[in-house]
Amino acid sequence: MTLPIAPAANSSPEGPPNAVNLQELIRGVSWLAALEINDVEMLLRHSHVQTLKAHEWIFHQNGQADWLYIVLSGAVRLVHGVGEKRLATIRCVEHGGTLGELSMASRTGFYLYSAEALRNTRVLAIPAEQCRQQLDAYPACRTEFMSRMALELSERLEDLVLVTQSDAMARLVSYLLRQLPPGRHQRPKTLPLTIPRYWLAAQLSMTPETLSRLLAKLRDRGIMQVDRRHLAILDEERLRQCLIEGDT
C-alpha cells in the first residue's frame, strides 16, 4: 500500500494551522534553510498537514515516493524490510526530522524504507517534485542535501556495524556514545528517552528484557542514572571502557 497523491482523509482539511510555525519548520531542515520566503510559501501552498494514529503507516518501502515529510509532533519509526516478514528498525524520528528524502537520491524514486507512527503524530507532507525543483534552483540547498546524504550513508554504515556486533553491551554503549551531545561542558550529559524502550531494544537488535538488564548494570556500576524519561551519563570514560569489556 502506498500513500495516495491527494491529501489523505485524516489530513488537516483547513491547511496549515500556523503558517509561521510551518515556515520555521521548513527552514529548520538543513537542506531547505537557504530558501527565500516566497519559495517557502510556495512549498506550503502545495503541502498539507497529515494526522496519524499510533501504529498507522505513513508510507511503505518500495512505494512511489511522491511526498516527503517533516515531523510536526509525535514520533515515527523507520523500518526496513528484511526477507519476507522481518522488519529491522533503522531509527526513530521526532519533531523537525525528515522522512523519505533518501528517495530523491534513488534512481527509482521509491521509498527505501517504511515509516510508522509510534504514537499520535502529525507530519507536514511536501511534494517531492517541488523539493527537487528547489534543489535545482538553489545550489546551496543542493550542496547541503548532498552533504546530508553523505552523512546519512555514514550513519547507516555505523548502524550496520552496530547491529552486527555480537555483544549486546557493545551495541548499547556504541548507540549511547553516538547520542551524546557534543562538548564536555555539560555534566552529566543527559539523553532523553522519548520513544518506548521496546522500540529502542528493536533498534539495537535485542529484547526489551536484555536492554533493561544492561541499563541496570550500567546504573549499578555508577556509570549512569536511569529513569523513565532520561539517561544521565555520569562517567563517559567508564562507559567507553564497556565497549572493550562487553557484557561481563
- Domain annotation covers residue 155: yes
Q: Hey, what long-range contacts does 4-11 have (CB within 8 A, 24 or more apart)?
A: 5/66, 7/48, 7/50, 7/125, 8/50, 10/50, 10/51, 10/52, 11/48, 11/49, 11/50, 11/51, 11/125
pTM over 0.85: no
Q: Is there a single domain that holds both residue 102 and residue 204? A: no
> Which residues lie below 8 Å from residue 219, measured CB to CB, with a gap of 6+?
225, 226
- The domain of 241 spans 168-245
3-state helix, strand and coil shares in percent for the chain, rounded to the nearest 5: 40, 25, 35
Instruction: Give the pLDDT of the chain (248 residues) as one tens digit per residue.
Output: 223 223 333 444 344 457 889 999 999 999 999 999 999 999 999 999 999 999 999 999 999 999 999 999 999 989 887 666 667 778 889 899 999 998 888 778 899 899 999 899 999 999 999 999 999 999 999 999 999 989 888 877 777 676 666 688 988 998 888 888 776 556 788 888 877 888 888 878 889 999 999 999 999 999 999 888 888 999 999 999 988 777 66
Q: Is there a single domain that holds both residue 99 and residue 24? A: yes
Q: Is there a single domain that holds both residue 152 and residue 79? A: yes
Are the CB atoms for 215 and 232 separated by under 8 Å? no
C-alpha cell at 131: 523539493
Q: Which amino acid is at 206?
A: M
**Residues in a beta bridge with 189:** 233
With left for phi above 0 and alpha for psi between -120 and 50, is residue 177 left, alpha or beta? Answer: alpha
Rounded Cα–Cα distance for residues 190 and 17 (Å): 33
Q: How many domains in the chain?
A: 2
Distance of CA 117 to the CA centre of its chain: 11
Single residue among 140, 164, 188 that ends a domain in this structure: 164
- Domain annotation covers residue 212: yes
- Domain annotation covers residue 53: yes
- Domain annotation covers residue 10: no
Single residue among 109, 140, 164 that ends a domain in this structure: 164
State how far the alpha carbon of 83 is from the alpha carbons of 22, 37, 86, 125, in Å.
38, 44, 6, 29
